[in-house]
Amino acid sequence: MPSIRLTLVNNAKQTQKSAVILKVDDTSDPLADILTLAKNKLRLKKAKTLYLNHGIELVDPSWLKNGKVAQDSLVYVSCGEGYVGQTRQESLPATGAAASTTPSATQEGDDSTTSTGEIMNSTASTTTDLKFESLLINSEVSATISILAKKSYVDPEANAQLNRTAMLPGMRKVVGQPDLHPGNQYPIGATFITQKFIYPALIGNDIGCGMAVYRTRLSSGIKPQKIVDKLHGLEGRWTEGDPHAFLISQLGEEHTETGKAHLDQLGTLGGGNHFAEFVTIESRLDLDLCDSIGLTDANTYLIVHSGSRKFGQTVLEASNSMQTKAEKKLQGIDAESEVGQAYLKQHDLACAWARTNRELIAHRVLTRLNAEQDATKILDIWHNNVEQKTIESIDPQRPCWIHRKGAAPSDRGLVVIPGSRGHFSYLVMPHGDQDKNGFSLAHGAGRLLPRAKALQKRPQTSKQASISALQTTDLGSSVICEDTDLLFEEQPGAYKEITDIIDDLGPFVKVVAILRPICTYKMRKEARS
């Protein structure tokens, strides 16, 4: 009778282990049998999730039957907590670099290999050069994993999520940016490069989310309170004009029906980490480039961060409804299939809709300050999208699909990387080889604390004083956010240090300018869509 030897490990208390022999014939249910053994041998009455090394979730029983899981493998048994790993680590270390340890089997750019049972700890190196931890999962999967964080803290659950994506069919390369943090299922602040398959779930529902930067004619000496007093009437449907006509003016007459059902949201920020922020130039570091794009100390600039709102959600749901059972199980779609082509068409329209949304948000905001005239767009980039690109290092003949989830493109010119509210933002120009970072950069500071934990930091006393402290930042900028929970969820301490993010991106970018916030608009309790 076919069988496999395994060592079951309590994921939360890894000194607790038990060796077992598991029957794996065609009539058995090996996953259910492992959970039963864990309940009996490890006394884990609520055992429900199984992980292999590197945080790969064991969900396919065929892996145990066809040899994909080797004899004497470790299986980590979880009662619902995220994957802890081969060595337990504290959840919030004092320094970020130690937390970004990634198990490695193959060092990218190096022909040498190590046993998959060994861990290569990046923090043990004394060199100051940036190292890239990479993982070759097995002989059937050619995906490598790189995490670009040395100073920036990376949550172990984000590591685990990143590693699990490497097992998806067609996955060739996975890159965690310094702002990497856990998502609901897949991590945020990451780039996923595939061939043949596309994965709508990796992009999520806010297709086309991104950032735009505008130079305005407002003086850099404008007082934050003047902006605060003027920014009203930005919630809900745009009533000063025809949103449908505005959409057509941006997309063209052939798109009269595109996103028409969501016109009430066109020109609105939405919630979460979206914002419209006025900034001034703190420091111009690349004077020639600043001069060439008209970046001066005299002006105020507007950054807009938003996406496709409910239109993107509609596209994702439509794609899910068209997938076969097999596609839903794999969570991926053949890009050349009918479903794949239909998704890509709607995806591109959602990206265009999102860009138009940012344009209308900027128009609405600047109109309030009588500054819509002569505003110049400096950049507009998506950081939630999928696009095709030929990558020589992967396959010079067949193009790849680059999925970006909270990752800015580094092959499109200038990129803005904002800090949290009350911190500087950075305008950067990609430089050097962009292959190792997946032709992508961090899209911001990245969450350090989940929203629920950030809310737990909300004081129970002196409520109004605490709110006021978050409405005026350490840099003297103002924050407009009339949702108290959102204000605390988005507090500066909930995010990583933006200077660590920029330092980690050092091999890939040149800082052009540092931007100082003067007023950030999140939301008012006015009519919302």
- As annotated, the binding site includes 206, 273-277, 305, 383-384, 425, 443-446
Residues annotated in a binding site for Mn(2+)? 206, 274, 305, 383
d(CA 484, CA 488): 6
d(CA 53, CA 117): 8
Query: What residue spans of 117-182 are helical by DSSP H?
Result: 156-165
Token reading at 307: 């996406």
3-class SS of residue 503: helix
d(CA 517, CA 496): 17
On the 0-12 / 13-18 / 19+ scale of CB atoms within 10 A, 155 is buried
Provide Rg for the chain, Cα atoms: 24
d(CA 107, CA 120): 9
- Which residue in 59, 16, 62, 58 sits closest to 38, CA to CA? 16
Residues annotated in a binding site for GMP? 273-277, 383-384, 425, 443-446
Q: How many CB atoms lie within 10 A of CB 387?
A: 18
Cα dihedral 263, 267, 271, 276 in deg (nearest 10):
170
From residue 277, give the alpha-carbon distance in Å to each of 201, 267, 269, 271, 518. 29, 15, 11, 14, 8
d(CA 526, CA 507): 44
d(CA 418, CA 516): 10
Indicate if 403 belongs to the active site: no
Edge-first strand order for the sheet with 17-23 is 17-23, 3-10, 73-78, 49-51
- Which residue in 343, 278, 264, 276 sits closest to 309, CA to CA? 264
d(CA 311, CA 266): 10
Catalytic residue among 54, 262, 347, 443, which? Answer: 443
Contact assessment for residue 181 and residue 158, using Cβ atoms and an 8 Å cutoff: yes
| Residue numbers annotated as active site | 443
